[in-house]
A and B are shown apart, each in its own frame.
Chain A
Amino acid sequence: GQNIDQPTEMTATEGAIVQINCTYQTSGFNGLFWYQQHAGEAPTFLSYNVLDGLEEKGRFSSFLSRSKGYSYLLLKELQMKDSASYLCAPGGVTTDSWGKLQFGAGTQVVVTP
C-alpha cells in the first residue's frame, strides 16, 4: 500500500501563493495526480507528473521528486474560487493499474479576502 500524507488544512489570503505538500511511501508508480474538489462536488483533474520536476499549468504547478517520495502543488495568485480540497494521488505501476489511484485525505485550502 501507499501511505499518503498531506496537511489537513491551509489558509491563505487572496492573491497569495500556497504550496501543498504530499509525501508518500510506495514501491513505484507511473505518475502522480492532483485533483481539486469543491464541497459537494466531484473531484476534477488539475495536474499530473510522470517525470521528476515541475509541471506548470497556468496558476497551478505541480512538482515531483521520486527519490524523495515527495510532491507538491503550487497555487499562485489565489482567488476565492480556489477554496477547495486538493487531493494527491499516486497511480499504479502497470498499464492496467495506471488509473488505480490511491488518494490522500486531501488538504482543505481556505482563501480569505
Chain B
Amino acid sequence: DAGITQSPRHKVTETGTPVTLRCHQTENHRYMYWYRQDPGHGLRLIHYSYGVKDTDKGEVSDGYSVSRSKTEDFLLTLESATSSQTSVYFCAISDPTSNQPQHFGDGTRLSIL
C-alpha cells in the first residue's frame, strides 16, 4: 500500500515507559506525517516532516517527539507514555510537487496500561 510500513502494528506497554513507533517509506516522498485517531475526534495531526531533519508540530504534539534522520524513516517517540496516549497511530506520506495526495500506513494500535 503506497510503500509505507509501520512498526510495530500492535503494542501494549505500561504508563511511564518510553515508546517509539517507526514509519518507513519506499516512495522517496519528502513529506511524512503522524496522526492519532480516537473515537469522536477523527484523525488529528501530531507532527509532520517536510524533509530530513525538518519537522514541525501539529495540533496535538504535547507529549510526543519526532525524528527524521533519513528520507525513508520517520520516528514518533512517547518519552513517558500516559494512558491518554492509548490510540491508533497512522503514518502518512505525500508529494505535493506532483499533486500526490496523502497515503496512509496500516496503523499501529498502542495501548498504555
Contacts and interface: CB of A to CB of B under 8 A. Distances in A.
A45 B103 contact: yes
Interface residues of B, number: 26
Would you call the interface of chain B mostly helix, strand, loop, or mixed?
strand
Contacts of A104: 42
A103 B42 contact: yes
Nearest to B54: A96
Contacts of B58: 100
Nearest to B93: A99
20 contacts: A30-B96, A33-B102, A42-B90, A42-B106, A43-B43, A43-B90, A45-B102, A48-B101, A95-B96, A95-B97, A96-B50, A99-B48, A99-B94, A100-B33, A100-B48, A101-B43, A102-B45, A103-B43, A105-B41, A105-B42
